[in-house]
């Protein structure tokens, strides 16, 4: 649903007649050229795109031409022709009830407002507020599964909405990924409420008095409905069950029917996880998914209380060392945000820190004051990589929205947007002279961009699966790339030739050149780091010690120490010459996603899914 019309003339009109063979018409037509059906409902609502259809209704993106300028809206049509009188009357009743529910509930900022409802040509229509964004089924398809931090954020945002409708004695009865929209966050101060919006109240039911004890219609989406709802006896806890099923789908990307072991009558969703999930979240989700109502959360308040208890446990786990040991690295400062941190970078002069997050923004921090001094917004999906140009004048960012943006550090303004990748852009690196910017994408390619002009200069192909990381050698003549195809490729840029390093047993997700350019480190989902001799192309050493994927590797400026960050929540320090583990930095409460080192080597910066950036200093 992430399509906002800027002008009516940019779109065709879409005929509302389901039997029309040529539904697309000119934007200015009043009647369909194919069947003569009216294209302008109530003399103001023009449908322009079919969004979805199912049951007896269809949903369209439309524009309200009664406003100036015309604004987008959502048009829902009930089509009862060819139905028996009994079924038609039942469908009309449900449709009219949806209008009543929306009128009652639509003043919540995370529920689409009802704009109008009317009958036209013996068909019923609802007109609702347009929510610019993507439903969670689309998000998983386009961006992959959710992290634990994203599930916590979803619960934090959507539970108050469910409480709101339950307080109004309404059961939604159809909570599922496609009925939750992650809206694009507006920079406008008028934007209120959370990031997630609950839609489609077509199955919603008001419960009053003894009605809760009566058997009702079997309604909802089979993979997400609670057992009692299947029997026609939905209760408030039925919505909580559906929310739990939604969460395990978002974590795994696997259809819910395949996450349930029918032989042993139990959920097996944890067997399909590709990333770590904490015992606290596991406990909450399993209680949401309980088959018996007596074992399930009974109300939203109970779920929110359990989440708050989790937060209290997390706070209690943070214990500061009373007597720091000389020579050891200590977390001296923690910078807190509101979203999972995916990437960090320190400016060449060591004065600034940039961090990119799941909220589609980049925060710029003053490292002297440790205060955020600017926020760059413009990406429409999570920011996955940030990099400073060698002179510190430009910040580059890449996103799951398939684009790269260049920002002027002095003016805090966007310079340009680089488009060309067909999938999420996961990694960026400037050439040492600042002339080129390399980008690695899940479209399996690496692209080289001219920084001054923004022109695409070259596209490097050869990886069989997604490219996860890119980096330049100190001389700028060699580019290294990592991929889910389990390989590292070395690209000799002057000649255009490439060679392949093989040794990891799972996806390679991180690469880094040593400062002298003689060795390369790679981190992998196989939980190891391999140090490669670039003269021979053979492994020098394999570092084992992490218990989960190694997602970032970086050398200290003197080349003596290698740092690795992992989903196991730790940053490890290794002696590059021997592979000996020097120390393990602990303190993050969720996966470590990014590590950077200050130019003077005196500070380590780490970013995590726990929504924090930590600044580590060696105790002197």
Residue 213's pLDDT is what?
A: 37
The answer for residues whose C-beta is within 8 angstroms of residue 249's C-beta and 6 or more apart is 140, 177, 255, 256, 259
Contact 134, 52 (CB under 8 A): no
Right CATH number for 142-313 from 1.10.510.10, 1.10.357.10, 2.40.110.10, 3.40.50.800?
1.10.510.10
Residue 220's pLDDT is what?
A: 58
The answer for residues whose C-beta is within 8 angstroms of residue 108's C-beta and 6 or more apart is 161, 164, 193
Place of tokens 């060699």: 478
State pLDDT tens for residues 201-255.
877 777 654 344 344 444 557 899 999 998 888 999 999 999 999 999 999 999 9
Residue 106's pLDDT is what?
A: 67
The answer for residues whose C-beta is within 8 angstroms of residue 68's C-beta and 6 or more apart is none
Domains 8-129 and 142-313 in one fold: no
Active-site positions read 174
State pLDDT tens for residues 340-378.
999 999 999 999 999 999 889 999 999 999 999 999 999
Q: Which is nearest to 377 in space by CA: 614, 211, 185, 618?
A: 185
- The token pair at 211 is 């009605």
Q: Is the pTM of this model over 0.85?
A: no
State pLDDT tens for residues 125-156.
889 889 888 899 999 988 889 988 889 989 98
Q: Which is nearest to 82 in space by CA: 42, 123, 43, 22?
A: 123
Q: What is the mean pLDDT of residues 166-177?
A: 91
Q: Residue 93: pLDDT above 60?
A: yes
What percent of the chain has a predicted confidence (pLDDT) above 90? Answer: 56
Residue 61's pLDDT is what?
A: 92
Q: Residue 308: pLDDT above 70?
A: yes
Residue 450's pLDDT is what?
A: 96
The helix (H) or strand (E) run that includes residue 103 is helix 85-105
Q: Residue 183: pLDDT above 50?
A: yes
Taking the CA atoms of residue 148, residue 241, residue 279 and residue 255 in that order, the dihedral angle to the nearest 10 degrees is -60
pLDDT band at 185 (very low <50, low <70, confident <90, very high): low
Q: Residue 159: pLDDT above 90?
A: yes
Residue 211's pLDDT is what?
A: 43
Lowest mean pLDDT among 203-207, 421-425, 545-549, 580-584: 203-207
CA–CA distance, 566 with 555 (Å, rounded to integer): 15
The answer for residues whose C-beta is within 8 angstroms of residue 367's C-beta and 6 or more apart is 346, 350, 351, 352, 353, 598, 603, 615
Q: What is the mean pLDDT of the chain?
A: 86
Place of tokens 């196989």: 526
CA–CA distance, 400 with 379 (Å, rounded to integer): 9
The helix (H) or strand (E) run that includes residue 615 is strand 612-618
- For residue 480, what are the β-bridge partners? 471, 490
Angle between the N-to-C axes of helices 148-167 and 300-317, in degrees from 0 to 180, rounded to the nearest 10: 150
Contact 607, 613 (CB under 8 A): yes
The helix (H) or strand (E) run that includes residue 87 is helix 85-105
Q: What is the mean pLDDT of residues 102-124?
A: 82
User: Could you please report the per-residue DSSP string of 167-182?
Assistant: HTTEE----SGGGEEE
pLDDT band at 8 (very low <50, low <70, confident <90, very high): very low
Residue 56's pLDDT is what?
A: 72
State pLDDT tens for residues 68-85.
788 899 998 887 666 677
Q: Residue 417: pLDDT above 60?
A: yes
Give me the residue spans of the domains in the chain.
Answer: 8-129, 142-313, 327-618
CA–CA distance, 183 with 185 (Å, rounded to integer): 6
Residue 83's pLDDT is what?
A: 67
Taking the CA atoms of residue 444, residue 448, residue 453 and residue 454 in that order, the dihedral angle to the nearest 10 degrees is 20
CA–CA distance, 475 with 208 (Å, rounded to integer): 73
Residue 509's pLDDT is what?
A: 94
pLDDT band at 7 (very low <50, low <70, confident <90, very high): very low
Contact 467, 507 (CB under 8 A): no
State pLDDT tens for residues 309-334.
765 554 444 433 434 333 478 888 99
Residue 312's pLDDT is what?
A: 53
Superfamily of the domain at 8-129: Phosphorylase Kinase; domain 1 (3.30.200.20)
Which is higher by pLDDT, 53 or 193?
53
Superfamily of the domain at 327-618: YVTN repeat-like/Quinoprotein amine dehydrogenase (2.130.10.10)
């Amino acid at each position: 649903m992430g399509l906002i019309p800027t002008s009516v003339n940019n779109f065709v009109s879409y005929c509302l007649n389901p039997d029309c063979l040529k539904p697309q018409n000119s934007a200015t037509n009043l009647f369909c050229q194919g069947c003569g059906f009216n294209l302008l409902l109530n003399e103001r609502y023009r449908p322009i795109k079919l969004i979805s259809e199912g049951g007896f209704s269809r949903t369209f993106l439309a524009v309200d031409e009664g406003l100036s300028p015309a604004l987008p809206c959502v048009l829902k049509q009930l089509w009862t022709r060819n139905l028996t009188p009994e079924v038609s009357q039942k469908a009309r009743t449900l449709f009219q009830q949806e209008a009543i529910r929306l009128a009652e509930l639509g003043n919540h900022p995370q529920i689409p407002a009802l704009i109008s409802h009317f009958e036209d040509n013996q068909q019923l229509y609802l007109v609702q507020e347009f929510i610019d964004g993507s439903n969670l089924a689309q998000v998983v398809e386009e961006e992959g599964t959710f992290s634990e931090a994203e599930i916590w954020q979803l619960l934090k945002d959507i539970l108050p909405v469910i409480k709101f409708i339950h307080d109004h004695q309404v059961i939604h009865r159809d909570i599922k990924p496609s009925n939750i929209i992650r809206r694009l966050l507006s920079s406008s101060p008028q934007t209120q409420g959370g990031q997630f919006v609950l839609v489609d109240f077509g199955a919603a039911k008001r419960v009053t008095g003894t009605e809760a004890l009566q058997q009702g219609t079997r309604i909802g989406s089979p993979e997400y409905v609670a057992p009692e709802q299947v029997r026609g006896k939905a209760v408030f806890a039925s919505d909580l069950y559906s929310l739990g099923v939604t969460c395990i789908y978002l974590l795994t990307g696997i259809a819910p029917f395949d996450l349930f072991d029918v032989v042993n009558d139990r959920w097996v969703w944890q067997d399909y996880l590709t990333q770590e999930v904490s015992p606290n979240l596991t406990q909450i989700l399993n209680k949401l998914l309980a088959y018996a109502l007596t074992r399930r959360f009974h109300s939203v308040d109970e779920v929110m209380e359990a989440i708050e208890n989790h937060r209290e446990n997390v706070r209690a786990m943070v214990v500061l060392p009373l007597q720091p040991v000389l020579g050891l690295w200590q977390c001296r400062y923690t910078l807190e945000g509101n979203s999972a941190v995916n990437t960090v970078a320190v400016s060449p002069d060591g004065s600034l820190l940039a961090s990119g997050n799941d909220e589609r923004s980049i925060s710029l921090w003053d490292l002297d004051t440790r205060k955020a001094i600017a926020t760059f917004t413009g990406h429409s999906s999570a920011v996955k990589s940030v990099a400073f140009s060698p002179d510190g004048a430009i910040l580059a960012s890449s996103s799951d929205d398939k684009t790269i943006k260049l920002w002027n550090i002095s003016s805090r303004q966007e310079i340009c947007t680089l488009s060309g990748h067909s999938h999420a852009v996961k990694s960026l690196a400037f050439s040492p002279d600042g002339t080129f910017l390399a980008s690695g994408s899940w479209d399996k390619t690496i692209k080289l961009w001219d920084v001054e002009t923004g022109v695409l200069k070259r596209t490097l192909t050869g990886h069989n699966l997604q490219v996860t990381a890119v980096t330049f050698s100190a001389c700028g003549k060699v580019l290294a790339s990592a991929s889910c195809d389990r390989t590292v490729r070395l690209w000799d840029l002057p000649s255009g030739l490439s060679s392949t390093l093989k040794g990891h047993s799972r996806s390679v997700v991180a690469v880094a050149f040593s400062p002298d350019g003689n060795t390369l480190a790679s981190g992998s989902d196989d939980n190891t780091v391999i140090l490669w001799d670039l003269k021979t192309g053979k492994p020098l050493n394999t570092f084992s010690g992490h218990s989960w994927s190694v997602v970032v590797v970086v050398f200290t400026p003197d080349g003596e120490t290698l740092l690795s960050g992992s989903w196991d929540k730790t940053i490890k320090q290794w002696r590059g010459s021997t592979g000996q583990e020097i120390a393990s930095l602990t303190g993050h409460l969720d996966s470590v996603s990014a590590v950077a080192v200050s130019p003077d080597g005196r500070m380590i910066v780490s970013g995590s899914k726990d929504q924090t950036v930590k600044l580590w200093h060696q105790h002197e």
